[in-house]
């Protein structure tokens, strides 16, 4: 048997096994939207009148390898309007001061992970990663507009499900993130001893996958 003949036989034998993996590889673009609940729960509820979170949206690009591993990078943003407050003790009443407060939290992240059931229409996956969380707080105190901007390193872990095998796919994802030792929400975090701008996100996503 010649070398060329052996290669042909090996290709025919392994082709069906390798086809799903090859089909799963390639670039993808994701649009994401969902709900973000802040880890600084008490601070958020004080500033946002009882709410600890709100809507978030963003997107990412990814590359899936034929063996199921993937890398991705993207960003999301959370924006919410609240009010400056005064809190004397963690169990004390919240005094609303009447000054508007806008908060924006933007995590910029990279992820590495693994996709199970390569080549199937329903794909569970896991991932971990890190990045930078940007925080911006703007308030208007009797006509005096004040702005505070900060950035802090962060990490995250996620799990999700993706459905579809063609160009367009849909999915759902849960993400836990942490950006500890960072500025809190609305200046009351020291009272509540909260310093983490991370939290938990539940996301729905639409994927355009350019798989090979």
**Residue 212 or 12, more confident:** 212
How far is it between the farthest Cα atoms of the chain?
A: 89
Phi, psi of 23 (to 5 degrees): -65, -30
Residue 73 has pLDDT above 50, yes or no: yes
Q: Is 139 helix (H, G, I), strand (E, B) or coil?
A: strand
Residue 42: half-sphere exposure toward Cβ, Cα within 13 Å: 17
| DSSP-derived pairing of the beta strands 144-163 and 95-115 | unpaired
Nearest C-alpha neighbor of 128 from the set 144, 141, 143, 110: 110
Q: Which residues pair with 154 in a beta bridge?
A: 131
Alpha carbon separation from 46 to 12, 35, 41, 183 (Å, rounded): 65, 19, 9, 15
Residue 6 has pLDDT above 50, yes or no: no
Mean pLDDT over 169-193 rounds to: 83
Location of structure tokens 């798989």: 211
Q: Is 165 helix (H, G, I), strand (E, B) or coil?
A: coil
Location of structure tokens 């910029």: 108
Distance, in Å, from the CA atom of 35 to the CA atom of 7, rounded to the nearest integer, reads: 52
User: Of all helices (H) and strands (E), which one includes residue 83?
Assistant: strand 69-86
23 neighbors 119 (Cβ within 8 angstroms): yes
Q: For the chain, what percent of residues have pLDDT higher than 70?
A: 84
Cβ-based neighbour number of residue 85 at 10 Å: 22
Which has the minimum average pLDDT: 30-34, 98-102, 180-184? 180-184
pTM, entire model: 0.81
The two tokens of residue 69 are 């591993």
**Residue 118 or 208, more confident:** 208
Which has the minimum average pLDDT: 103-112, 161-170, 187-196? 187-196
Location of structure tokens 């999301």: 76
CATH of 14-211 given 2.40.160.210, 3.40.50.2300, 2.40.160.20, 3.40.50.880 = 2.40.160.20
Q: Residues 45-63: pLDDT tens digits?
A: 999 988 899 999 999 999 9
């Amino acid at each position: 048997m010649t070398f060329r003949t052996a290669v042909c036989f090996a290709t025919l034998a392994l082709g069906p096994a390798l086809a799903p993996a090859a089909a799963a590889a390639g670039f993808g673009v994701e649009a994401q939207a969902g709900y973000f609940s802040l880890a600084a729960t008490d601070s958020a509820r004080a500033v946002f009148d009882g709410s600890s979170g709100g809507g978030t949206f963003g997107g990412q690009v990814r590359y899936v390898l034929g063996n199921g591993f993937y890398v991705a990078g993207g960003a999301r943003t959370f924006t919410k309007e609240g009010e400056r407050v005064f809190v004397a003790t963690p169990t004390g009443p919240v005094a609303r001061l009447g000054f508007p407060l806008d908060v924006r939290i933007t995590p910029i992240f990279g992820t590495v992970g693994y996709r199970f059931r390569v080549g199937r229409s329903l794909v569970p996956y896991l991932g971990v990663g890190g990045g930078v969380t940007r925080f911006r707080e703007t308030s208007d105190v009797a006509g005096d507009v004040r702005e505070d901007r900060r950035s802090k390193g962060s990490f995250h872990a996620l799990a999700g499900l993706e459905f579809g095998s063609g160009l367009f796919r849909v999915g759902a994802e849960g993400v836990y993130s942490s950006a500890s030792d960072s500025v809190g929400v609305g200046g009351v975090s020291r009272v509540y001893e909260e310093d983490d701008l991370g939290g938990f996100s539940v996301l729905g996503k639409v994927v355009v996958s350019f798989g090979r």
